Structure 1
Amino acid sequence: MRAAGRSMRGCGCAGGDDMRTRGLSVRAVVGGLALVLFVALYGIEIVHHGPPITVRWVRQTFGTAGLILLNIAIVLAFLALLPYRRPTKHVWKSRGTFIAFVIALMTEMFGWPLVIFLLSPLVEIPVVARDYRRAFGAWHPEAIGTALSLFGLSLIAIGWWQIYRARGLVTTGLYRYVRHPQYTGIVLFTLGWLVHWPSLVTLLLWPILVAAYVWLARQEERQAVEEFGAAYLEYAARTKRFIPFLV
């Protein structure tokens, strides 16, 4: 985590110059549009069970393929709100896992009939599929998943805003409670989609995604100690990594 230049991390460090400021403005617009589109597509599902009207309209107008591409574009656009730094090997690995999760999710979520027909005997889990909704009782998994995703996106967006408006080590706002609120947001966002549209592929990918961001957070913290020394060690001693008071 460097406090100057264009090398940024997600554990509460910021700094920059005029060129970076212009770049952040572009990323803010891209991420903001993605957030608005996501809420417009799925926000209504929290209070209304079933496919939102907007989703049905997109599917009828542009077809299933268009809906898949739109969702992938929206989710990947949120990468603009994620902590940025020079593309080191482990950063590309963690983001690659996130992208793989999204693409697998969209494929399973909307379905490719031929793929489902050919592979359903291999991926179907009858007992899980039969008992899945029953386990939620009166709560609809779609509404719960959407709420989790929106909460995760809120953490990503607020954390992004806090870290990029500050300079140096950020220990206030969301960073007062956890050291990596944006990574917590990513985990909650993907967990929401997993609850909403569970599949064998995403069930297998999600733990890998979580492990990738836990590992990335630890790598960033080592660099933060090198940059800020005792100040970061003191901050880490009193602040949990992902969940307040727990982890």
Structure 2
Amino acid sequence: MNISAKLAMFSIAAILVYLGLAILGLGGFAAFFSHPALVVIALATLVMAGLSLFTEANLSSGEREDRANRWVLPVFGVIGLLSAFIPAYTDRMDFWTFGGEGIRWVGAVLFMAGGALRIWPVFVLGKRFSGLVAIQPGHTLVTDGIYRTLRNPSYLGLLVNALGWALAFRSNVGIVLTALLLPALIARINAEEALLHSQFGAEYEAYCAKTWRLIPGIY
């Protein structure tokens, strides 16, 4: 099994653990699947797990890597595990929650939209997409499609996806956990953009001058 396949299998296992923790937090299968919006989220999660099998995502250090940025990976992991369980648990306990089924549906829509935005760039980048901050062999800039406007669409997808998850459980704690992703995410973006600038120089500067970093019209 090659590295990409191993990473895909790991991603599927992580997604299933994530979903399992949410089911546990909400009190079991019956409680979780009694909410139609959460059923939709579960199905969307399984679809994303299946799609990950067809990507070329990897964990290659490539030709050059910014190893100093690896600290963000365990941070993402810890926040991810907390986000899997705590919003569902606070929903069950009705602790610091808000809204009703309508909010759950808003969350479901955002979760799916964020998931699509998260995985779409993985297909676009192919072997250039690494879980590490690295320049891959034959690395070239992608400046068309969604990258014509946004330099980091997958990270925007991650934030929208996480916010949707929090809203699906009506969880203020989940929103706080989503906000806690920002420092590590911005550090990751800074590291990636610095590495790309060192690799592509004026070409990357020109690209940055006509695109948004994360949120169109804002940042």
Q: Which residue of 2 aligns with 1:43?
A: none
Between the two proteins, the alignment pairs up a number of residues equal to 183
Contiguous gaps of at least 5 residues in structure 1: 1-18, 39-47, 56-69
Cα distance between partner residues in 2 of 1:142 and 1:169? 38
- With over 3 angstroms needed to count, the CA separation of the structure-2 counterparts of 1:216 and 1:83, relative to structure 1, is farther
Does the 8 A contact of 1:145 with 1:192 survive in 2?
yes
Alignment correspondent of 1:133: 99
Which secondary structure does the structure 2 equivalent of 1:168 belong to?
A: coil
2:77 maps to which residue? 99
> Is residue 24 of structure 1 aligned with residue 4 of structure 2?
yes
How do 1:224-235 residues align onto structure 2 when only pairs under 5 Å count?
Answer: 224-235=196-207
2:186 alignment partner in structure 1: 214
Change in CA separation of 1:29 and 1:171 when aligned onto 2, cut-off 3 Å: farther
Give the alignment's TM-score, normalised by structure 1: 0.58
Q: 2: CA distance between counterparts of 1:159 and 1:195?
A: 24
Structure 2 counterparts to residues 1-247 of structure 1, below 5 A: 22-24=2-4, 27=7, 49=36, 51-52=38-39, 85=61, 88-92=67-71, 94-111=72-89, 124-125=95-96, 129=97, 132-133=98-99, 140-164=102-126, 167-199=139-171, 201-247=173-219
CA contact (8 A) 1:183 1:242 kept: yes
1:101–1:202 contact (8 Å) kept in structure 2: no
- Highest CA radius of gyration, 1 or 2? 1
Residues 224 and 232 in structure 1, CA contact (< 8 A), matched pair in contact too? yes
Task: State the secondary structure of the residue aligned to 1:140.
Answer: helix
What are the superposed Cα offsets for residues 89-132 of structure 1, whole Å, 9 maximum, x if unpaired?
A: 4233x2323222222223224439xxx6xxx9xxx44xxx3xx2
Contact 2:108 2:168 in 1 (8 A): yes
Instruction: State the alpha-carbon separation in 2 of the partners of residues 23 and 104 from structure 1.
Output: 27
Amino acid at match of 2:69: H
- 3-state SS in 2 of match to 1:171: coil
* 1:169 partner letter: L
Could you tell me which runs of 5 or more consecutive residues in structure 2 were left unpaired when the two chains were aligned. 19-34, 129-138
Contact 1:152 1:189 in 2 (8 A): yes
| Residue 53 to residue 201, structure 1, CA distance change in 2 (3 Å) | closer
* Secondary structure at the counterpart of residue 244 of structure 1: coil
